[in-house]
Amino acid sequence: MAVVRWGVLGFYLVASLVIIYLLSGHPYEWMIGESSPGEPPVTYCTLPVPSDSTSDVGMFVSVLLVLIGAGIGFFWRKESTGRAALACVGLVAAVAVYRFFLRSMFC
């Protein structure tokens, strides 16, 4: 039974991180570091703003992922997997905060 718990936890962690990275990506992120002659290189703060931003959806999905992980952790709280699940929730929450807020906070 422990193998199933660890498998579910690993799937949750990988799926959550992939979803966060896909939803938090900027459509013009590939332009970072490029420069035109006589102009400074493009940074994250100087990227063009897309006309239809979907970052709000990504934030709500991230909150949902954290709540699901917390539910898994509290469900398994008496097992050693429960503490690992809560650690994974903390990791997912930290990555989501960085990808959605901290990268663009000081622009």
Q: Identify the H or E element spanning 49.
A: none
Q: Write out the two tokens for 76.
A: 């398994």
Read off φ and ψ for residue 78, nearest 5 degrees. Answer: -85, -10
The answer to whether residues 61 and 95 touch, using CB atoms and an 8 Å cutoff, is no
Q: Terminus-to-terminus CA distance in the chain, angstroms?
A: 48
Please tell me the pTM assigned to this model.
0.69
Sequence-ordered alpha helix ranges (H) in the chain: 2-24, 55-75, 80-97
Digit-coded pLDDT (tens) for 62-82: 788 888 877 777 777 666 666
**Domain spans of the chain, in order of start:** 55-107
Give me the pLDDT at residue 61, please.
79
